[in-house]
Structure 1
Amino acid sequence: MVEILSGIFDDSASSVLAFLAAGTVFKIGAFLWLRKKKDERFVPVGQVTQINLFPVKSCKGIPIRSARATEIGVLYEGVQDRSFLIIGADHVYITQRQEPSMALIVPSIHGDMLHLDAPGMQTLKVPKHLPVLDSNLTKFQVKLDILKAVDCGTEAAAWVSKYLKRPGLKLLYYAPELPKRDLTVVKKAWDTRAKTGDKTNFSDFCAYLLTSEESLASVNSQLEEPVTMWRFRSNIIMKGSPAFEEEKWIEFRIGGARFRALDICARCVLTTVDPDKGVKDPNKEPLKTMEIYHSSKEYNNKALFGLDATVDWPGDIHVGDIVYALKA
């Protein structure tokens, strides 16, 4: 009798396991089928012409040929995009909006060190990675977010304070293991497509900004003095698509990475800073013209340029990669 019942239970257990396994296989198959059908809707829209890494928020960028596209930004030789930040004595972040000469701070990567150079200053050398200790954590504020990052020390603090001629400044490092900024709580006057789990380092809103050469050419056609793409501080630059066509994308793929569009980038006074001189344009260009030429009531009549995005599937990207987009 025991043997009979045991056999029944064994058969029942096997049936349940088989049913569950079949259900799992079905779900995986359905997911892959839906993804394949979705992928078929992606169309080639252009080619990557430049990738930029900005190690220190609001300082000069480094053009690179390839990078790892991670969930919190471009990663190159162990340095994450916008993983360093300058804050004031009040712990609030500082950018070229307040200090346009930050545009002349030049970061470079040397082995395990990040070097910072600026006019009239000796080279500052800081480790690319600093340990997280209770003794070196300090709070910072970017927009309305208040979190903690690693203080890079007194030498770095003295360097940035001297160059910017502001006492009490600090250089911070956003270690990978520290809690990141949640994009769903970043306040804007309009809705974005940010989802739970979307995060970033020290950037204003999100981890990626894509711009196109055709959009820049369109803007420059309206300006007396053309500007370069460095005014817009994008991570990914592409060509091959009509001007401002990127604003219609829902998702896009580059190399092994899959990106989700979050918002059209509304531009600010930072675009008026000449990246080669570190001074603001006295005529507030190109922002003044862009607010007339390419803006929207939906965005409070702000100038629009570029596509804010996040990564849903990390992967390697390279200059020369084809860009595939899923359009609205």
Structure 2
Amino acid sequence: MENAKSFLSSLLSAGGASGRGAPAAAVSSIYVYPIKSCRGISLSQAPVSPTGFRWDRQWLVVNSKGRAYTQRVEPKLALVEIEMPNGAFDEGWEPTVDSYMVIKAPGMDPLKVPLVAEYAVADEVSVWEWSGPAHDGGVGAADWFSSYLGKPSRLVRFWTASEIRPVDVKYAQGHKVLFADGYPFLVASQGSLNALNEVLHEPININRFRPNILVDGCNPYAEDLWKEIKINNLTFNGVKLCSRCKVPTINQENGIAGTEPTETMMKYRSDHVLRPACKQKGVVYFGQNMVWQDSLLRTMNGKLVKVGDPVYVVREYASCADVPA
């Protein structure tokens, strides 16, 4: 950890070797959540795709009617751990018939889900505004999640070959996601978390906010204003402040919900405080929803984001009142 911090410090102080001027921050952590609402995987690198990092929110747990389960109604999902095969996050890696995703949870035997398999189609799967068919994860996965949650459940996989789930066109046209709530990437900063922890009675971990990219070296909440950034020559657009739901109040170590950090954030991170002249929704904000701008180019080539990559801010919003939310 100390070596990583030293590397980030030297990188930020080194300035503009790329010709863009000094970086505003550096990537300090990368997270991917293969099953929506289950625990994330911390990575040193991850391949970028138009729908987010590879494998991110590709699977979903649903009820008997095909409706998505999330931690909002099933906080026990916070305790479900995911393991992907070695090499799964290398650029160009492809699974074989011997490649499995391994799922673990307290009191449960590990479940192996093949990454290459022929499964039946699950009709009428729905998450938020979207509904459509998906790949059914099989009887074994259904039994495992039904036992763990204590109610009929299934594991489904997004049908990337036939289905498209666009992001809200009010914020970003032409972009798409799999089972993520709304946008392919969520960027937050260590500085923002540190500032929040300074005013909380008990500090919390960044896993409460489930970012994809955590950066370090910038001022608290600087990411609020990032309209366009570059990481490893990849261009990301900040399209919407991330309004937070109940999930950050759920302790990711035990699955128990409380009132913090939302109660404290309402005092200084609410729309009433940050966007007083805008229509009030009674929400708090933490992090910036982003899309990969290059994914709309026909000549797009996938690349990696790595821990230690410098973050260059190309364009910024003038204030939080100017940022879409």
Please tell me the TM-score bracket, short chain as reference.
Answer: 0.7 to 0.9
Structure-2 residue corresponding to 1:145? 130
Report deviation, 1:216: 0.5
**Paired amino acid for 1:173:** R
Q: State which of 279, 283, 288 in structure 2 corresponds to 1:307.
A: 288
Report deviation, 1:253: 1.1
| Secondary structure in 2 matching 1:221 | helix
- Note the 1:111-260 alignment, pairs <5 A: 112-131=99-118, 135-167=120-152, 169-184=153-168, 192-195=170-173, 197-260=174-237
Report deviation, 1:116: 0.3
Matches of 2:289 and 2:155 in 1, distance apart? 26
Report deviation, 1:41: 7.4
| Secondary structure in 2 matching 1:158 | helix
Structure-1 residue corresponding to 2:41? 62
**Paired amino acid for 2:165:** R
Q: What are the superposed Cα offsets for residues 29-72 of structure 1, whole Å, 9 maximum, x if unpaired?
A: xxxxxxxxxx9878621000000111000000110001111110
Report deviation, 1:301: 2.9
**Paired amino acid for 2:66:** H
Matches of 1:294 and 1:66 in 2, distance apart? 31
**Paired amino acid for 1:63:** S
Structure-2 residue corresponding to 1:3? none
**Paired amino acid for 2:161:** E
Report deviation, 1:81: 0.3
Q: State which of 294, 299, 306 in structure 2 corresponds to 1:318.
A: 306
- Asked if residue 327 in structure 1 is aligned to residue 316 in structure 2, the reply is yes
Report deviation, 1:121: 0.4
Q: Give the TM-score taking structure 1 as reference length.
A: 0.80
User: Based on CA coordinates, which of the two structures has the bigger radius of gyration?
Assistant: 1
Higher strand share: 1
Q: What are the superposed Cα offsets for residues 60-112 of structure 1, whole Å, 9 maximum, x if unpaired?
A: 0110001111110112xxxx100000011121101110011100000101361
Q: 1:193, 1:261 within 8 Å by CA — same for their partners in 2?
A: no
Return closer, same or farther for 1:42/1:260 CA change in 2, 3 Å cut-off. farther
Q: What are the superposed Cα offsets for residues 164-212 of structure 1, whole Å, 9 maximum, x if unpaired?
A: 1112x11001143132211136xxxxxx5211x1100101111110010
| Secondary structure in 2 matching 1:160 | helix
| Secondary structure in 1 matching 2:284 | strand
Matches of 1:129 and 1:174 in 2, distance apart? 13
Moved more, 227-236 or 103-112: 103-112
Q: Give the TM-score taking structure 2 as reference length.
A: 0.80
Matches of 1:237 and 1:200 in 2, distance apart? 20
Matches of 2:187 and 2:39 in 1, distance apart? 17
**Paired amino acid for 1:156:** A
Q: State which of 98, 103, 106 in structure 1 corresponds to 2:78.
A: 103
Quick one: percent identity of the two aligned structures?
31
- Asked if residue 86 in structure 1 is aligned to residue 86 in structure 2, the reply is no
Q: 2:185, 2:290 within 8 Å by CA — same for their partners in 1?
A: yes
Aligned residues: 274
Matches of 2:308 and 2:85 in 1, distance apart? 26
Matches of 2:241 and 2:72 in 1, distance apart? 20
Q: 2:133, 2:159 within 8 Å by CA — same for their partners in 1?
A: no
Higher helix share: 1
Unpaired runs of at least 5, structure 2 = 1-17, 87-98, 273-277, 295-301, 318-325
Unpaired runs of at least 5, structure 1 = 1-38, 186-191
Structure-2 residue corresponding to 1:189? none
| Secondary structure in 1 matching 2:84 | strand
